[in-house]
Structure 1
Amino acid sequence: MKNTTTKHRLDSLDILRGFDLFMLVFLQPILVGLLQKINNPSFQGILNQLDHEVWTGFRAWDLVMPLFLFMAGAAMPFSFQKYRLDNNKWPIYKRIFRRVFLLFVLGAVVQGNLLGLNPKYLYLYTNTLQAIGIGYLIAAIIQLYLPTKGQLIATALLLLLYWAPMTFLGDFTPEGNFAEKVDRFVLGRFRDGVYWNEDGNWSFAPNYNYTWILSSLTFGVTVMMGAFAGRIMKDGKDKLRNVQTLLIVGGACIIIALIWSLQMPIIKRIWTCSMTLYSGGISFMLMGLFYYWIDCKQHTKGLKWLKIYGMNSITAYVLGEIINFRSIVQSVCYGFEQYLGNYYSVLINLGNYLIVFFILRELYKRGVFLKV
């Protein structure tokens, strides 16, 4: 934790990141819990969009993680500016490896059972924060050593390096895709979804089909797409032209993704090339809309509270995922259970995430932000 200022920051970056985190750690858990209790078939379409696609296809909730990675990249041109031309790269090396290390540790805390202190149930690479760390590392190396044209070529090569083995060494089914084979071979029993049999041996869970090792290539592409968006906003002198560029690039990525999906389907769970471009295209367009409304038109009324999430996004994610404040809420709200019935759990969840929000707000007011 450290104090920092907001000078020279783009409000749209912080607010869009805050919107993404607000959806993840507040709105979706509360809204899904409420709609499930109402149990009205007319809400099923909303519930479907607030859950991940089972395999092929793309839902609104599938955008949350790619947008998180995209926003990590969008900030890089601003934070890397003073390092690119410096012959002494040691300070930025320390920053990069420190960030990757901390993201891996926090990811293991959130989803890898690190706090369980039992190696039998430890998972090494299985979380959004770890995906950001690897994507950030790849994008950092590309940006530090290559000019803009070289960065574009390197990003395209990452897509091809993922596409080739996925196309020729497997298929696009949950069991037969090559990324699944790589994860099982490399991570072994440290892969998420592993379960232990009564005889003491372990097996891969058939219903866990997220991939990480080979998908790191496309994680890097998603972060680089964010970096290109950040470069447009940083270097472009005409803000309206920047907006147009962001929207045009986003639309082009979506069109390419839909064409590519005829050969390589859009599958978020294994981060296919078509999904990478599709989610990246939507992220470009969202960035363009937020940049236009907030940084061009200066319309921030009613939106600045999202910076509470956006400027402490890692803290928001970790608190929302691992700290359970429900017992505190229950200790003061238990009397409402007799009146709320099945909806009592919705109140408890709401109180849990409100406590997270007030913690974040207090940190924001004091200018304290977790920087990894």
Structure 2
Amino acid sequence: MQQQTNYSPTSHRRLASVDALRGFDMFWIIGGESLFAPLLSLTGLGAFAWGQAQMQHSTWHGFTLYDLIFPLFIFLSGVTLGLANKTLRGQSPQLRQSAYKKAVKRLLILVGLGVLYNHGWGASVPPDLSEIRYASVLARIGFAWFFAALIVWHCRPIAQYLIFAGILFGYWLLQLGLGDFSISGSINAAVDQCCLPGITYQGKPYDPEGLLSTLPAVANALAGVFAGRWLHLHGDRPGKLLKGLFLAGITLFALGWTWNLIYPVNKDLWTGSFALVTIGCSLLFLGCFYLFADIWKWRWFTTLFAVIGCNAILVYMASSLVNWTYTSKSLFGGIASVFSSADAGNLVIVIGVLTVQWIILHWLYRRKLFVSP
């Protein structure tokens, strides 16, 4: 069994594929998803119709590629833990305390940024604490990473695999035994109504980033840990590395859809079947990007997305707090007006949004200015 190395707060290993895949993931958040609608109207091609359909979240049960964006980001946060391959077992109290402080600080920052992103501070000054939405995408990323880190730092690899399986199986039994898989009848809704402070997303009976569904998200992060450890262990054997990623990805993807026969794939409830399907997809994407970026070394491809991935949190926050469409119209509105087709003009504006953001992020990238909690 591979041994974990001691924790070092200064050690950090980056892979081009991980940064590029994170950037590819964020590309669809910052405006990439808006490309398909005007392209479909202009061309009528079935490929763009399919892409447009995939850029919508599933209404309830089911799965689209847009549903993958969130769990893929959580998976990649686990990959960085696995690449570091550190443990706190047997370390001094001072070193443990330093690691805990940094982990808690990162968690609190992400929770706070999540509230800011959702504009969830209420409608009054001082804010009404009961009207704040505390649950958020960033909070879930923070909690998933935090608990995965504690597990990695304190448990041996075999125990980590058992915890991963226990989370998914135990969550299934909990959902199956204490509720159903409907919007208001799930155990998730009951827990959020009882224990989640503040308000839920759009006033729903449950919150899609609520308390109980954070559990299987930890499994997504742990799967990333296992993948990162595999990259760490087999970096000098790319053939074996890729074979393992692709085989594991196909297997878990198939297991998730098989489980779907009795346990529906559902993003909002983050069912165990959904976790397996998204982990399988994440492994397949990681394998592809490792091939492109770290083996074939497609520098243009890697840079295109790594520029976004190295400042993923920054660009995610900016997508909520900055009106990029207004900026694009100010810069490229004249060009857009040249076209007689409104769809062509809209396409110019969307490309302008992506271009402006990429140029700013490239400026930060060239100067190695990376914002991370």
Q: Deviations over 1:236-292 (max 9, x none)?
A: 242221211111211221222122111111111111000101110111121122223
Q: Is residue 55–residue 269 contact of structure 1 (8 Å, CA) maintained in 2?
A: yes
Distance 1:209 1:109, change over 3 A: closer
Give the structure 2 partner of residue 92 of structure 1. 99
Alignment of 1:322-333 (within 5 A): 322-333=321-332
* 1:218 match: secondary structure: helix
Q: Is residue 67–residue 267 contact of structure 2 (8 Å, CA) maintained in 1?
A: yes
Give the Å deviation of 1:90. Answer: 1.3
* 2:196 match: secondary structure: helix
Is 2:268 the partner of 1:261? no
Give the structure 2 partner of residue 27 of structure 1. 32
C-alpha distance in 1 between matches for 2:355 and 2:325: 10
Report the TM-score when normalising by structure 1.
0.86
Determine which of 108, 111, 128 is the counterpart of 2:115: 108
Greater CA drift, 185-194 or 256-265: 185-194
Greater CA drift, 45-54 or 269-278: 45-54
Give the structure 2 partner of residue 298 of structure 1. 297
Q: Which amino acid aligns with 2:115?
A: A
Give the structure 1 partner of residue 4 of structure 2. none
Determine which of 60, 66, 90 is the counterpart of 1:61: 66
C-alpha distance in 1 between matches for 2:89 and 2:210: 29
Give the structure 2 partner of residue 215 of structure 1. 213
Q: Which amino acid aligns with 1:259?
A: T
* 2:170 match: secondary structure: helix
Distance 1:14 1:334, change over 3 A: closer
- Give ranges in structure 2 of 5+ residues lacking alignment: 1-9
Q: Deviations over 1:303-346 (max 9, x none)?
A: 32211011111112111232113333434445456544634444
Q: Is residue 74–residue 229 contact of structure 1 (8 Å, CA) maintained in 2?
A: yes
C-alpha distance in 2 between matches for 1:286 and 1:329: 31
Q: Which amino acid aligns with 1:159?
A: L
* 1:89 match: secondary structure: helix
Determine which of 169, 193, 198 is the counterpart of 2:202: 193
Give the structure 2 partner of residue 360 of structure 1. 361
Give the structure 2 partner of residue 184 of structure 1. 193
Q: Deviations over 1:65-100 (max 9, x none)?
A: 111111011011234537566332112111111111
Q: Is residue 63–residue 265 contact of structure 2 (8 Å, CA) maintained in 1?
A: yes
Q: Deviations over 1:142-182 (max 9, x none)?
A: 10110000101111111123112200111112222111221
Alignment of 1:140-159 (within 5 A): 140-159=149-168
* 1:306 match: secondary structure: helix
C-alpha distance in 2 between matches for 1:332 and 1:13: 32
Give the structure 2 partner of residue 17 of structure 1. 22
C-alpha distance in 1 between matches for 2:214 and 2:72: 16
Q: Which amino acid aligns with 1:359?
A: I
Q: Is residue 11–residue 84 contact of structure 2 (8 Å, CA) maintained in 1?
A: no
Q: Which amino acid aligns with 1:52?
A: H
Q: Is residue 83–residue 225 contact of structure 2 (8 Å, CA) maintained in 1?
A: no
Q: Which amino acid aligns with 1:19?
A: F
| Percent of aligned pairs sharing the same letter | 26
Distance 1:184 1:253, change over 3 A: same
RMSD: 2.7
Report the TM-score when normalising by structure 2.
0.86
Q: Is residue 294–residue 300 contact of structure 1 (8 Å, CA) maintained in 2?
A: yes
